[in-house]
Amino acid sequence: MYAPVSGAVTGGMVDTKEDSSTVTGPNIYAPVTSDISSAATEEMSKFAAEFALSMIPIIGDGSGVAKELYNLFTTGEIDELNLTLSLLGLAMDLPFDAGVAGDLAIATLKGFSAMIPSGPAREVLLEVFKVASQTPNAFFDFVETVRKLMGNEALLQALAANPKAFKAILEASPEAVENLAAQGDEAVQLVKGLDEDGVKAVLEGGDDTAINVVKETEKYTDYVNEAGTQIRINKQTSQAIDNKIADNLVNTDIGKRTEAEVANFIKNNTNAQITDLGNKVKNASGGTLGDIDCATVNEIIEVKKSIGDVDIKQFTKYLDPTFENYINIQNKNVILYIDKQIDMTIPANLYKIEQLQDLGVTITNGLDELKGVIK
């Protein structure tokens, strides 16, 4: 049989006296009662039912073991998580002196596990529990982390659909999880789009972190923007940019050709370094969030052939950090380059210019004007 708690089960009971200065007892779990009393949803009702049953000495956990043995003999399958928790619960019950804290901890975990559907998320819960159960301190911290997640059904559903994010949160400190859960709907949206590394970056970054580098390789950098969207920006080498400029200068696509002309001018007439040219920015699922037409170390340049091609909404991704598709990670200055001479007698053109300037966009009309604002 699987012994779920290595080094923590002594003589059939969890040694809750180890390091008594840091392992607290019932006080940690007293708030569980308020969580149960406020349970009204279907998932929280599952928790309440399993919690109440598990608090019955021997019978509650014994029924869990019996259920899994029955499943083993009738279907050949068992729920290892339920069996493990039930066996540990029995280990605490049998000597009748394991203490209330241990009983509450196991009952909390069994109630929580009842809220998690079978599948990868449940396997993650078992995996993290096995590691946490190696010492009493880690075990009780894990239970406290679980308790911080209870009551936020939308967040749990999002985590069940994203097991990698679920793993990162289960392994985090109770304080970090409490801070995350307190963000409500924002937390739900965040975990939907992040992988394990992304969630860890957000949790470790704390409340003051708006944008986090999640992963960096020689080819790309993954970030999490303030809205919680994980984005990937490919790294373009100087040689790759030079090759792209040469190719696109003779491209029949007027948009790509104009971008190449701008990049070539900056390269040959300023001291600025080109960092991006026609660089597609993607989200975690591979969808395109937008293109960086041209960029230097200090500027992002939106390139348009004429003022008629300009859509003011396109600049949200550069200017509004709270926008889900925000990609101006380094907060660079935003420049609009318009190649064709702007007709200032047309009211619609004047309106666009005023609106963009109010947003903080620097507008340049022609290469000479562009040269004057490139740093």
CATH for the stretch 238-373 = 3.40.1350
Give residue 306's pLDDT: 96
Q: Is the pLDDT of residue 309 over 50?
A: yes
- Considering 153-167, 276-290, 293-307, the range whose residues carry the highest mean pLDDT is 293-307
pTM of the model: 0.50
- Across residues 177-181, what is the average pLDDT? 79
The span from the CA of 226 to the CA of 269, in Å, is 35
- Considering 119-123, 193-197, 369-373, the range whose residues carry the highest mean pLDDT is 369-373
Who contacts 30 (Cβ-Cβ below 8 Å, separation ≥6)?
Answer: none
pLDDT band at 65 (very low <50, low <70, confident <90, very high): low
- Across residues 312-324, what is the average pLDDT? 93
Angle at 325 between CA 319 and CA 328, to 5 degrees: 40
What is the average pLDDT score of the chain? 76
Percent of the chain with pLDDT over 90: 34
Percent of the chain with pLDDT over 70: 67
pLDDT band at 239 (very low <50, low <70, confident <90, very high): very high
Lowest mean pLDDT among 187-196, 200-209, 263-272, 329-338: 200-209
Q: Is the pLDDT of residue 367 over 70?
A: yes
Cα separations (Å) of 198 from 163, 212, 287, 303? 13, 8, 17, 32
Listed by start position, the domains of the chain span: 9-151, 238-373
> Quick one: 127 exposed, middle or buried, by C-beta within 10 A (0-12, 13-18, 19+)?
middle
Give residue 88's pLDDT: 62
Q: Is the pLDDT of residue 242 over 90?
A: yes
Give residue 57's pLDDT: 54
The span from the CA of 64 to the CA of 58, in Å, is 10
